[in-house]
Amino acid sequence: MTAQATWSGNRLRFEVGDAHGHAAVIDEAPPLGDGAGFSPPDLLLAALCACTGITAVSLLQKMNQPLRSLVVRADGDRQPDWPKAFTRIRLLYEVSGDGPFDEALVSKATRLATRHYCAVGGTIELGQGGCQIDFEHRILTR
């Protein structure tokens, strides 16, 4: 898997993309940026919602639940000092559909989506010493 972020040349706005041609805008809120896109921490929460949501939909459908709508909401607490990492994230799965749900199956699906199948959540929960980030730099001349 690959991704890249390219500075737009405008304040702190970046365009991000992946190897499949998908794109999004990342920016900081004023006064540092223009607020023209997701902030990086907001994008992390959104990725966690989508990652767990994809799995929850798949599992609920396989469990023959009457799913018609799923909204996953996240809010998180962050450290006051840099790197201002998330210290706790709460997810809320709002499930609705045509008919009664089996509470135990919904609980199982959301637990598995959160704790077992989501790469984003798994990476976040590994925490310090979990996922190693290697880096290097290149200086390009014109």
- The CATH number covering residue 86 comes to 3.30.300.20
Tokens for 43? 């994008």
> Is the same domain home to 28 and 69?
no
> Is the same domain home to 63 and 101?
yes
pTM across the whole model = 0.88
> Is the same domain home to 59 and 128?
yes
> Is the same domain home to 9 and 77?
no
> Is the same domain home to 113 and 80?
yes
Q: For the chain, how many structural domains are there in total? A: 2
Tens digit of each residue's pLDDT (9 = 90 or more) over 68-90: 999 999 999 999 999 888 889 99
The residue segments making up the domain with residue 16 are 1-38
- Mean pLDDT, the chain, rounded, equals 90
Tens digit of each residue's pLDDT (9 = 90 or more) over 18-44: 999 999 999 999 999 999 999 999 999
| pLDDT of the residue at 57 | 97
Torsion, Cα of 114, 117, 122, 123 (10° steps): -130
CA distance 141 to 54: 43
